[in-house]
């Protein structure tokens, strides 16, 4: 079972009753998802992997996750994004997969969702701004989609592009903050890692618009800005592309952006974090290397010096 209770869990990590009552539904989804996943992954000849590596994680209250957002296309004010995002139309939606692949194409979201059924993954999520949360995502492993389009041997990186929709997105219209559209990228081995998912929902419901509907990336061992929202394009490339935050301030936002308590942001420490929902009297949570997923991902960075590497 993925969710266990733990009497030693700090009060700050215990979920409110409204969320608690939804856990039955979450557990049901988990069981159903696990069954589907076992079958479909066998077909795809991919090794099954339980992404819920931290069995004691309890979700952050949904109200917080859905009302405190970073989505710069809409606003720099976290509390305004939910309202502003509602006018943005996410249906119909398609994703173009292109570049160094055998089977490029533009795929309707419905056909992607029917080909790759979603399962539940409960992950820690750590923003570079030093707040964090625990989110029960629905989604599927990105590697399943990549294997389906068959990367060529020349493919070394995967670039993701968010939607460009200035009519619906005030900050794009004002040409403010970043140069649009929002772009992120992973090395191919990071993109093919079993922990990396394309999310379609949270808390057993379709992904809210403010959280990146209808399809977003989730890379739990990296700072949150890598987890790009509202993806319209996935490109396999032979070289590393420039990415939005890295272009904006390379000394603040590294390409890798692996969660690393040893390397401070130029303006604040990354050694601890504020867990959303915890009060002023609760000590901050100590940030873990790779956000606690080092056992699964550290080997990908074995040649790199983690005392300086961000
Ligand atoms: N994706 C797009 N397209 N635009 C953004 O501004 N913000 C990033 C990431 N993905 C962002 C984005 C940052 S900084 C974070 S911390 C997370 O989304 C926040 O996700 P959430 O609002 O679901 O918590």
* Domains, in order of start, for the chain: 11-300 (3.90.420.10)
Instruction: Work out the mean pLDDT of the chain and round it to a whole number.
Output: 87
What is the atom index within ligand 1 of the atom nearest the CA of 129? 16
Q: Write a three-state SS string for 136-163.
A: EEEEEEHHHHHHHHCECCCCCEEEEEEC
Please name the residue whose Cα sits nearest to atom 23 of ligand 1: 211
The response to whether residue 72 sits with its C-beta less than 6 Å from ligand 1 reads yes
Q: How confident is the model at residue 306 (pLDDT cuts 50, 70, 90)?
A: confident
Q: Are 109 and 190 in contact (CB under 8 A)?
A: no
Compute, in angstroms, the gap from residue 151 CA to the centroid of ligand 1: 27
Q: What is the pLDDT of residue 261?
A: 97
Q: Whose CA is nearest to atom 6 of ligand 1?
A: 71
Strands 183-187 and 205-206: unpaired
Report pLDDT digits (tens) over 208-262: 999 999 999 999 999 999 999 999 999 999 999 999 999 999 989 999 999 999 9
Cα(38) to centroid(ligand 1), Å: 31
Q: What per-residue confidence (pLDDT) applies to 308?
A: 76
Per-residue pLDDT band at 97 (split at 50, 70, 90): very high
Q: Would you say residue 88 has pLDDT above 50?
A: yes
Question: Is 44 a residue whose pLDDT tops 90?
Answer: no
**Bridge partners, 234 (sequence order):** 97, 160
Token pair for 112: 């992607």
Q: Is the CB of 224 under 6 A from ligand 1?
A: yes
8 Å CB contact between 147 and 46: yes
What is the residue with the minimal CA distance to atom 24 of ligand 1? 69
Q: Where is average pLDDT lowest: 47-51, 158-162, 205-209, 251-255?
A: 47-51
What is the rounded distance in angstroms from the CA atom of residue 256 to the CA atom of residue 240?
Answer: 11
Q: Please indicate whether residue 182, judged by its CB atom, sits closer than 6 Å to ligand 1.
A: yes
CA 35 to chain centre: 23
Ligand 1, atom 19, lies closest to the CA of 70
How confident is the model over 192-201, as a mean pLDDT? 98
% of the chain surpassing 90 pLDDT: 77
More confident residue, 97 or 45: 97
pLDDT value at 146 more than 50: yes
208 lines ligand 1 (CB under 6 A): no
Question: In this predicted structure, what is the pLDDT of residue 49?
Answer: 61
pTM score, whole prediction: 0.86
């Amino acid at each position: 079972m993925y969710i266990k209770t733990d009497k030693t869990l700090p009060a700050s990590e215990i979920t409110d009753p409204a969320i608690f009552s939804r856990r039955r539904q979450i557990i049901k989804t988990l069981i159903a998802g696990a069954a589907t996943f076992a079958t479909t992954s066998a077909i795809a000849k991919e090794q099954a992997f339980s992404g819920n590596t931290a069995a004691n994680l309890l979700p952050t209250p949904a109200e917080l996750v859905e009302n405190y957002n970073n989505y710069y296309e809409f606003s720099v004010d976290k509390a305004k994004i939910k309202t502003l995002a509602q006018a943005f139309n996410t249906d119909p939606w398609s994703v173009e997969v292109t570049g160094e692949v055998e089977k490029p194409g533009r795929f309707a979201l419905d056909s992607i969702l029917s080909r790759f059924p979603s399962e539940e993954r409960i992950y820690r999520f750590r923003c570079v701004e030093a707040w964090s949360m625990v989110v029960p995502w629905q989604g599927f492993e990105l590697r399943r989609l990549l294997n389906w389009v068959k990367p060529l041997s020349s493919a070394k990186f995967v670039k993701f592009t968010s939607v460009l929709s200035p009519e619906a997105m005030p900050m794009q219209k004002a040409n403010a903050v970043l140069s649009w559209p929002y772009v992120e990228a992973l090395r191919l081995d990071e993109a093919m890692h079993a922990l990396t998912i394309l999310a379609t929902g949270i808390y057993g419901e379709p992904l809210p618009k403010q959280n990146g509907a209808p399809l977003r990336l989730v890379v739990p061992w990296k700072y949150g800005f890598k987890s790009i929202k509202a993806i319209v394009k996935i490109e396999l490339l032979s070289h590393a592309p420039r990415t939005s935050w890295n272009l904006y301030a390379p000394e603040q936002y590294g390409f890798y952006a692996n969660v690393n308590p040893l390397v401070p942001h130029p303006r604040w420490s990354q050694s601890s974090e504020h867990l959303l929902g915890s009060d002023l009297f609760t000590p901050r949570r100590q940030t873990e290397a790779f956000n606690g997923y080092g056992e699964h991902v550290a080997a990908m960075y074995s040649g790199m010096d983690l005392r300086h590497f961000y």
